A and B are shown apart, each in its own frame.
Chain A
Amino acid sequence: MLEVRNGGFETTVQDYPGRIGMLSLGFAPAGPMDDYAFRFANVLVGNPPGTAGLEITAGGLVIAFEDERAIAVCGADMGARLNGQPLELWRSYLVRAGDILEFDYLQGPGFRTYLAVSGGIDVPPVLGSRATYLPGAIGGFEGRKLQAGDRLPLGEPLTDPAQAAGRRVPASLIPSYPGYNEVWEVEATRGPQADPDYMTAEDMAFFFSHHWKLDAASNRTGYRLDIHKWQWARESGGAGGGHPSNILDNGYPVGAVNVCGDQPIILCIDGPTLGGFICNAVVAKAAMWKLGQMVPGWSYIRFKEVTLEEAITLLKQQDETIHESNLERS
């Protein structure tokens, strides 16, 4: 068991790749916003990379352990301390019964951090996954974020926790996050409703060059960007509605940039699965993790256009990177 002493700002149980195959019923996959850090945390403690762990947003979590486990914290620096001693990120540790892990709030760039525990968080799977899907109030721990007093069951570790502890991700594989007010470069392909049928080539050139400010009203469902007056290739949305951003409703790719009237919104992993606005771009799957570390109200985004082939190559490289063979003994 893992006992929650303080749930912090927003801490949820997540697994990867989340609730797959349910988009047609309206269930977004959920899962970790930064799957790179999440998967590496699991690999560090000897878990399969998709094992259920905790997503800690902004900080504030305090938990107590009740048995011997390997743990790892990867992602944004929230000044994590184990029994009062600072904990290094991207490194595995051994914890024992009675040990207390505390997180402060953000100490620098980044927005989320991930805790993996050997054996994983063993909440019951709902519709095939342990991921918390907040908009649908299902999965994870009672379909909600964690709060003081919650007791999370843990699974049986696959490897000896003492063996899994004491390993680190090499510095070359630890991403450095752009600071507040700095620009994240996010790889994306053109989407199903880009130019020339829906937007003009100039609209798309603007889209791929502008530094988009991430609105404060952004969360796991969607990342709102600046209002922009688009040229549009059409006068109206025809049968989809009056505005040229309207279409007859269709499925939305996870990670699509959905242009609602004048406002582009990146559809994140808790986002809508179907709707009637155009999608002019889709974030490369291998770049989705970056969304998880952006700070709503502060970060800027520039979309870097990649081809479908380039996006696939990035994904394969990422899978190879997040692998036990790349870890170092510390």
Chain B
Amino acid sequence: MTEHVTQPSGVILASFPERNGRPSVVYRNAGDSFLLVEFGEMVFDLTMSFRVLGLDDAIKHNRPAGLIETIPALRSILINYDCRQISVRDLIDFVEDQYEHLPPFENLVVPSRIVELPIAFDDKWTREAIARYVQYQRADAPNVIDGTNSKYAAMYNGLRDEEEFFSYIMATDWWNAALGFFPGLPFAYPLDPRYAVVLPKYNPTRHWTPAGTVGIAGPCLAIYPVESAGGYQIFGHTVPIYDPLQRNPAFRESPVLLRPGDRLRFRPRVTDEELEALIQAVYDGTYQYVIDETATFDVGAYLRFLKEVEPEAEAFRRRQAEAAARVPVP
């Protein structure tokens, strides 16, 4: 067992440096029922998701008694365990062992469905949520311009206007690294770094967001599956991704539409009225979700693609950083 590096505050229970090309790992105290395992640095690196989902799979297949479940995210796995059945030390040793034996991920071809979702931008539902926020929570929020977050989003990323911002959302596929927050909510990251917009979060968070709202915070895109509070900048609306009454064939197996490892693709762009009709058709059971069930994702090919577009991606990141420095944070 490698040496544990801990902190006086007791927050870091163990940490290990990068080994043989494997990112560093930190084990953080998360109370008596949870352990947070964090990989690498806090940088946006989508390839970390492939490792995380690989390790998550290994943990699931070899789970020791007392390990209840894992909650994978982009660069971390939160483990829910029963402290009456397994000690946090034994849990750390178990995860370390799985991590040590993780096969190289560069040659992976993983199943990854492509899910197409229609989208309306700066729609009436989004405007309503923002109007309520301004009226009841924060009138001087710098992220609200003309009753939307999209103008702010464009400014923050150095884009011409909200239309260019919308075109970026549609230009890339979004990798669903995790589900959570509320049932079936995707945490999706842009696969094409040339269109990887970044946004700060609300401050304070919104009390109300309608189901179907599309938003972004950090580099992450989310779709709100149920009416809920929220912290993301919001700019669009799509069809239901969660239906507890399972009224559409797409929900026959589970009330949750999406899965980790899915790729989301926003198309076509629709009007509020068109979207309203589509939502109705979902509940009628007549809407057919466009899902390529058999698609796969070639990690090696993706890594080559990243290399190819890196100069353009770097140019966009510079433009973003310059713009963000001039724009106030909420």
Contact residues of A with B, CB < 8 Å? 20-27, 133, 135-138, 143, 188-197, 201, 204, 217, 221-222, 227, 236-243, 245-256, 260-263, 265, 272-277, 279, 282-286, 307-308, 311-312, 315-316, 319
Contacts and interface: CB of A to CB of B under 8 A. Distances in A.
Contacts of B203: 243, 245, 260-262
Interface residues of B, number: 67
A237 B44 CA distance: 12
B135 to A, nearest CB: 15
A273 B71 contact: yes
Given A251-B180, A252-B78, A282 B42 contact: no
B69 interface: yes
B70 interface: yes
B225 to A, nearest CB: 7
Contacts of A240: 42, 218
B231 A275 contact: yes
Interface of B: 7, 9-11, 28-34, 36, 38, 42-44, 68-78, 80, 83-84, 88, 178-185, 187, 198-205, 207, 217-220, 225-226, 228-229, 231, 242, 244, 254-256, 260, 324, 329-330
Contact of B43 (A24, A197, A238): A238
Where chain B touches its partner, the secondary structure class is loop
Contacts of B77: 251
**Candidate in A23, A279, A286, A319 with the most chain B CB atoms within 10 angstroms:** A23
A144 to B, nearest CB: 10
Nearest to B36: A192
**Candidate in B76, B203, B204 with the most chain A CB atoms within 10 angstroms:** B203
Contacts of B225: 26
A254 B31 CA distance: 9
B80 A23 contact: yes
Contacts of A248: 42, 44, 73-76, 218, 220
Nearest to B87: A312
28 contacts: A26-B182, A135-B182, A135-B228, A191-B11, A192-B38, A195-B9, A201-B9, A239-B42, A239-B219, A241-B199, A243-B200, A243-B329, A246-B201, A250-B78, A251-B77, A253-B80, A254-B34, A260-B203, A262-B204, A274-B178, A274-B185, A275-B231, A276-B220, A285-B33, A286-B32, A308-B29, A308-B31, A311-B32
